[in-house]
């Protein structure tokens, strides 16, 4: 379903090789986890796969389509939950869903049916007429998941979907995603910091560090290879103990600024 | 909303009543009559540049990202956003105009005053497109203060919003003529206060030309946005 060969991204402004010739593939119907320390290149890879960022080199295929050359075809194939929230806070949950449906040209009748079904699925149907700005972080995440599924994508990308959520909400979110994967056979590609999530949810995973893939396989294979009992230990064994000092990039500055400045 | 109305209102009242007597003494007539269209243009300028620049937040923390991965062309997104931003700016301009009328401004001719909406919308479109173009190339809000100080403020102060274009020092006159806001202000003054420096037709044609130019540049830069 996803084929990546030699994918490279070099940022012009700081000459940083964020992604350094990575290759991996994800089969249809698989739940694939993308692990790595901060600044390893996870988000950059997801952005390239989802047509938001142009790669410097290498090849990508999603469902046989090229995200660089066939943007619109690829965009129809995937759904995404971003690392930072991307809902319109001034609209209700239902309006956010409706807007997405219109944007993806889901016919009206079908759209209405699916919105109801999905909002019930993420247990937000009772709150459908509430403004999103009054939602908690977990509710927003659930709504984003429901929204990302509205156009029935074949691949679902989630960039650290459970960051900053409590264990209950995380558990909830993964059970939705698991159920979806089983029922509809959607390919799931997610990145996370939480090893136990990857261990529980993923069929296969890849560990990326300094822009390179350092290990790929089932969670059990990785544990066996490192000779340790938990995936967390395997992860440490693979990527080292050193704490990554990420310099505050423009994104972090923006994140701070957004908190202070944002009018809404 | 209230916050963004405060500034134009302050300008209108402080400058309008503050400079009114001097302006009258110099033979300029009623300063509020002269100033009000300029302040309407100012409100539009600020609102529309900001709504364009909001793209900087929006593409990282907002709804824009959702639209950027949707199977919709960037041109459509850009046009939709610009029209939306321009509509908000237009409404802002209308509210300021109403406030100016409460403060003592009287449009000379009702039919012409209706035509002022066209000039308001053109001005709003122009600067929303400009804001979009700028936001498309900026990484973060670091450059924001720079834009306010070196673009928005000069655009406003050197536009003839506050003073007549007649008899200006040559350099200032040239700058004012090169400033697209000048034609927006002039068009508004022509339609609202009944006197203008250029002809209304010229104002309109220049605005339209600059709107088209900025829309093209804005769409191009917007289509190159990478999140």
- What would the pLDDT profile of A51-71 be if each residue is shown by its tens digit? 888 888 889 999 888 888 888
A158 has which bridge partners? A81, A190
Provide the greatest CA pair distance for chain A: 54
Question: CA of A174, closest CA in chain B: separation in Å?
Answer: 22
Residue from A47, A51, A103 to probe the interface with B (highest B Cβ count within 10 Å): A103
Share of chain B above pLDDT 70, in %: 98
Are B140 and A250 in contact (CB < 8 Å)?
yes
Instruction: State the smallest CA–CA distance between residue A242 and chain B in angstroms.
Output: 29
β-strands A187-192, A17-26 pairing: unpaired
Asked whether the predicted pLDDT for residue B218 surpasses 60, the reply is yes
CA distance B108 to B52: 33
Residue A184 contacts residue A190 (beta carbons within 8 Å): no
Confidence at residue A137, expressed as pLDDT on a 0 to 100 scale: 85
Q: What is the pLDDT of residues B156-191, one digit of tens each?
A: 999 989 989 888 899 999 999 999 999 999 999 999
Please state which of the four CATH numbers 3.40.50.150, 3.40.50.300, 3.40.390.10, 3.40.50.620 is assigned to the domain occupying A2-261. 3.40.50.300
Kindly tell me if the per-residue pLDDT of B207 is higher than 90: yes
Q: Give me chain B's average pLDDT, please.
A: 89
Average pLDDT over residues A200-210: 88
Kindly tell me if the per-residue pLDDT of A163 is higher than 90: no
Domain residues for B176?
2-223
Q: How far does the CA of residue B60 sit from the closest CA of chain A (Å)? A: 7
pLDDT in tens, B57-76: 787 777 888 888 888 888 88
Cα–Cα distance for residue pair B44/B81, rounded to 1 Å: 16
Query: Once rounded to an integer, what is the mean pLDDT over residues A245-262?
Result: 61
| High-pLDDT (> 90) share of chain B, % | 46
| Residues of chain B contacting A75 with CB distance shorter than 8 Å | 69-71
pLDDT of the residue at A12: 76
Average pLDDT over residues B191-211: 92
The torsion angles phi and psi of A73, rounded to 5 degrees, stand at -60, -45
Q: Is the Cβ of B71 closer than 8 Å to some Cβ of chain A? A: yes
Cβ(B109)–Cβ(B189) below 8 Å: no
Which one of B56, B72, B139 has the shortest CB-CB distance to A103? B72
Q: Chain B partners of A65 at a C-beta cutoff of 8 Å?
A: none
CB-CB neighbors (< 8 A) of B60 in chain A = 84, 251, 254-255, 258
Nearest to A61 by CA among A79, A73, A52, A53: A73
Domain range annotation of chain A: 2-261
Q: What is the pTM of this model?
A: 0.82
Quick one: pLDDT at residue A71?
85
Number of domains observed in the structure of chain B: 1
């Amino acid at each position: 379903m996803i084929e990546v060969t030699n994918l490279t991204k070099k940022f012009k402004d700081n000459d940083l090789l964020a992604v350094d010739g990575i290759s991996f593939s994800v089969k249809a119907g698989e739940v694939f986890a993308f692990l790595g320390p901060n600044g390893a290149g996870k988000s950059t890879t997801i952005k390239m796969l989802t047509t938001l960022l142009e790669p410097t080199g290498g090849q990508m295929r999603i469902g046989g389509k090229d995200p660089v050359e066939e943007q619109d075809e690829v965009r129809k194939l995937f759904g995404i939950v971003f690392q930072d929230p991307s809902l319109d806070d001034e609209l209700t949950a239902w309006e956010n869903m409706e807007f997405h449906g219109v944007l993806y040209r889901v016919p009206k009748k079908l759209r209405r049916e699916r919105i109801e079904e999905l909002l019930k699925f993420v247990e937000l149907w009772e709150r459908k007429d509430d403004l999103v700005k009054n939602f908690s972080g977990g509710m927003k995440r659930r709504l984003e998941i429901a929204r990302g599924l509205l156009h029935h994508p074949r691949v679902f990308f989630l960039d650290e979907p459970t960051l900053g959520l409590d264990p209950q909400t995380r558990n909830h979110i993964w059970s939705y995603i698991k159920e979806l994967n089983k029922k509809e056979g959607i390919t799931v590609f997610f990145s996370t910091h939480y090893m136990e999530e990857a261990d529980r949810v993923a069929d296969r995973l890849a560990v990326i560090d300094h822009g390179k893939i350092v290990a790929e396989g089932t969670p059990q294979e990785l544990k066996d290879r490192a000779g340790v009992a938990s995936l967390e230990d395997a992860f440490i064994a693979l990527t080292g103990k050193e704490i990554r000092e990420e310099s505050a990039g423009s994104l972090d500055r923006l994140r701070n600024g957004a908190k202070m400045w944002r009018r809404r | 909303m209230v916050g963004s109305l405060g500034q134009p209102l302050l300008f209108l009242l402080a400058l309008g009543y503050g400079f009114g007597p001097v302006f009258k003494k110099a033979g300029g007539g009623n300063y509020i009559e002269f100033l009000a269209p300029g302040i309407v243009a100012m409100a539009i300028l600020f609102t529309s540049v900001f709504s364009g620049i909001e793209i900087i937040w929006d593409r990282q923390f907002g709804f824009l990202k959702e639209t950027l991965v949707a199977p919709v062309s960037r041109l459509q997104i850009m046009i939709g956003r610009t029209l939306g931003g321009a509509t908000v700016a237009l409404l802002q301009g209308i509210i300021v105009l109403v406030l100016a009328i409460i403060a003592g401004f009287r449009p000379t001719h009702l039919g012409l005053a209706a035509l002022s909406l066209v000039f308001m919308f053109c001005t709003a479109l122009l600067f929303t497109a400009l804001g979009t173009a700028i936001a498309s190339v900026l990484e973060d809000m670091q450059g924001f203060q720079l834009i306010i100080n070196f673009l928005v403020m000069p655009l406003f102060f050197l536009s003839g919003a506050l003073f007549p274009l007649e008899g200006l020092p040559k350099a200032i006159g040239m700058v004012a003529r090169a400033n697209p806001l000048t034609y927006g202000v002039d068009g508004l003054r022509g339609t609202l206060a009944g006197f203008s420096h250029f002809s209304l037709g010229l104002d309109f044609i220049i605005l339209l030309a600059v709107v088209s130019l900025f829309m093209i540049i804005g769409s191009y830069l917007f289509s190159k946005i990478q999140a």
